[in-house]
Amino acid sequence: MGSGMVALARSKTAAIKKAVYRAAPGKKQALLDRLFALWFARFVYNQIWEDPVVDLEALELKPDSRVVTIASGGCNILNYLVADPAQITALDLNPAHIALTRLKLGALQHLPDHEAFFQFFGVAKHQDNIELYRSHLAGHLDEATRAFWEHRSILGGERIEFFAKGLYRKALLGKFIGFLHAFGRIAGRHPERILDARTMEEQREIYDREIGPLFELKLVRLLARQPIVLYSLGIPANQFDAMKHDSSGDLAELIRHRIRRLACDFDLSENYFAWQAFGRHYDVKDRRATPPYLKAENYATIRDRLDRVETRLQSMTDYLGSQDAASKDRYILLDSVDWMDATMLADLWAQIRRTSKPGARVIFRTAGADSPFTEKLDPAVFARLFEGWHYHAEESKRWLDQDRSAIYGGFHLYSRVA
């Protein structure tokens, strides 16, 4: 590893530690925070788990909208381009997620057509993808992105080979879902069979037979109570605590409720989150249950708007601190606020407040039902920072119910009215 890559790795780890370490933690909390920081510094998400249809309805993007978002897997950045905003800045503390986002941007620009793009990121499991990378993409990538995908593991393969072996079975999330499938088979259950359902009634029947009974197992109920088990889902100890509170300690029942929503409350023919959870791939045959950015009808539109996107390996607070006052109007925080203590939350919202225009909208999701801003900030601090902002309580509840990923306990929208 060259000196530049060493420096990048060190800065990455320091930034993630800053984001997840809680103020004045106990010994157990400190250990859990350190373990999660080490875990999250790896390649975690192979796709984003926030429903872009819900996001776009809540954001109300306009042609002059200037969006700041956390990148994660990069899917929603491209999905938002369909709505024609003026600019999108994508930020992340994890170089793996920035590398995946930049690979998607490069593939849209340099792969020959939509079919090649769909094979690369829709199927994401084809030997020809390696040649597509070598011949069309590698020479156009920045040094850090190319170094990430051409990094060779101790077993000898480069990361770009994920796209030949199955991207959606890789990264920590993909491997963890694979572990859950293997556990289900050992228990005599087959969650993937739900994708054979042709009606929502059949979805419920298969769920009751193949998935629901797993949550009755003593081992599952035990594992659900261990914070470290959920690290591969990108759930830090703070989020775990919020879920534990909402479930009154019965985390297995809370998880079962959310999995049942994913399996039974939405038509699987269009819910690509369910396909990933239960099949570990998209609907590559009919191509209905796929993210908007992979659909043929959006390909040209997104490709024509790529110059509106910039990516940065940086925290949201630090980035906003470098921007002019009243220069942004749409903010997507994903679930990052769950990670933050009161000081971090106050610093972030102070920068959102400073950089936002009247009419700005901020969305985020939470593991628990409540907003960390109201839960963690001192009431006087909250009143000062949120003066002139409106919380959309009823709409937020409705959008949570509509979110097809079904994994969160809260969806939240604040808008600036003054």
SS3 call for 407: coil
What is the predicted pLDDT for the residue at 292? 98
Least-confidence region, from 85-89, 203-207, 215-219, 274-278: 215-219
Q: Please give the average per-residue pLDDT across 86-113, as a whole number.
A: 97
Q: Please give the average per-residue pLDDT across 400-412, as a whole number.
A: 96
Q: Please give the average per-residue pLDDT across 284-288, as a whole number.
A: 96
Whether the pLDDT of residue 6 is over 90: the answer is no
Whether the pLDDT of residue 56 is over 50: the answer is yes
What is the predicted pLDDT for the residue at 42? 73
In this predicted model, what pLDDT tens digit does every residue of 168-227 receive, in sequence order?
999 888 988 998 899 999 999 999 999 999 999 999 999 999 999 999 999 888 887 777
Q: Please give the average per-residue pLDDT across 120-147, as a whole number.
A: 98
Q: Which residue has the higher pLDDT, 28 or 100?
A: 100
What is the predicted pLDDT for the residue at 7? 43
What is the distance between the alpha carbons of residues 129 and 157, in angstroms, rounded to a whole number?
15
Whether the pLDDT of residue 1 is over 50: the answer is no
Whether the pLDDT of residue 415 is over 60: the answer is yes
φ/ψ of 399, rounded to 5, equals -70, -35
Q: Which amino acid appears at position 416 of this protein?
A: R
SS3 call for 48: coil
Whether the pLDDT of residue 250 is over 50: the answer is yes
What is the predicted pLDDT for the residue at 16? 53
Q: Are strands 389-391 and 410-416 parallel, antiparallel or unpaired?
A: antiparallel
Six-digit token pair at 289?
A: 């249950």
DSSP characters for 127-180?
THHHHHIIIIIGGGS-HHHHHHHTPBPTTS-BGGGHHHH-GGG-HHHHHHHHHH
Whether the pLDDT of residue 2 is over 50: the answer is no
Assess contact for 349 and 364: CB atoms under 8 A.
no
In this predicted model, what pLDDT tens digit does every residue of 326-355 receive, in sequence order?
999 999 999 999 888 899 999 999 999 999
Q: Please give the average per-residue pLDDT across 244-273, as a whole number.
A: 90
Q: Which helix (H) or strand (E) holds 365?
A: strand 356-366
What is the distance between the alpha carbons of residues 247 and 241, in angstroms, rounded to a whole number?
10
Whether the pLDDT of residue 237 is over 70: the answer is no
Q: What is the radius of gyration, based on Cα positions, of the chain? A: 21
Helix/strand/coil percentages in the chain, nearest 5:
60, 10, 30
11 — pLDDT class (breaks 50, 70, 90) = very low
What is the predicted pLDDT for the residue at 247? 77
